[in-house]
Chains A and B, each alone.
Chain A
Amino acid sequence: AQKVTQAQTEISVVEKEDVTLDCVYETRDTTYYLFWYKQPPSGELVFLIRRNSFDEQNEISGRYSWNFQKSTSSFNFTITASQVVDSAVYFCALSELDQTGANNLFFGTGTRLTVIP
């Protein structure tokens, strides 16, 4: 069975600090995908990144970076020099392949990040 754990329920940081959001997953499949989504206070869900299980290269996009380690089943998300606009709930999710091709998403419970000015 698949499972995504985001142990940090809430994190507060002061603006310009770096912050890492943890994500640990469980799956029996060898082929799977990992995702991060952002949900700002306005409520919409914004896709941030997708990673497949065969690509362990870390990725950087501006102030955002992601560290994927299969050995520890983790897909952590770091925000460098945090800003108030980064305040949001962040969700990690896992997708496995299925026969229909729908590849449903299984979400963690989210981490609420508050950046204090």
Chain B
Amino acid sequence: DAGITQSPRHKVTETGTPVTLRCHQTENHRYMYWYRQDPGHGLRLIHYSYGVKDTDKGEVSDGYSVSRSKTEDFLLTLESATSSQTSVYFCAIRPTVGNEQYFGPGTRLTVT
């Protein structure tokens, strides 16, 4: 158990509304990531963080922003949700030792 929680676990929202997903870790890992999973695409990186206030874009960052004001929390914000952002969102952490990432349970987001 990598001590990662995501909230909410499920959310339905309307097009045009802002949405924030939260990833919380209990073990003070430096690296945190947000991915989305869609059929036929596997997992694709949205944004990542390499420290407090240190973030960068991934492969599919358009329409998303992130913030990391504390080591334990990494927030993903959809400023104005669109139907194309309907997906399952996974947060991950990577311990400093080793290169594998460990994933949270996921958030299923539906934008209607």
Contact = CB atoms under 8 A, between A and B. Distances in A.
A52 B98 CA distance: 10
B33 A109 contact: no
A45 B42 contact: no
B100 interface: yes
B56 A45 contact: no
Nearest to A34: B99
A107 B31 contact: no
Contacts of B31: 101-103
Contacts of A93: 43
A101 B99 CA distance: 10
Interface string A11-37: 000000000000000000000010101
Interface residues of B, number: 28
A91 B87 CA distance: 18
Contacts, number: 62
Interface residues of A, number: 23
A100 B56 contact: yes
Interface string B81-105: 0000000101010100011111101
Nearest to B2: A47
A50 B105 contact: no
> Is chain B's interface secondary structure helix, strand, loop, or mixed overall?
strand
B42 A100 contact: no
Contacts of B44: 107
A95 B101 CA distance: 10
Nearest to B50: A100
Interface in B41-85: 41-45, 48-50, 54, 56, 58-59
Given A35-B100, A45-B92, A105-B43, 17 more contacts: A33-B99, A35-B99, A43-B105, A45-B43, A47-B100, A91-B42, A91-B43, A93-B43, A101-B30, A101-B31, A101-B50, A102-B50, A102-B94, A104-B48, A105-B33, A108-B42, A109-B40
**Closest 6 A-B residue pairs measured CB to CB?**
A107-B42, A45-B103, A100-B50, A109-B42, A107-B43, A33-B99
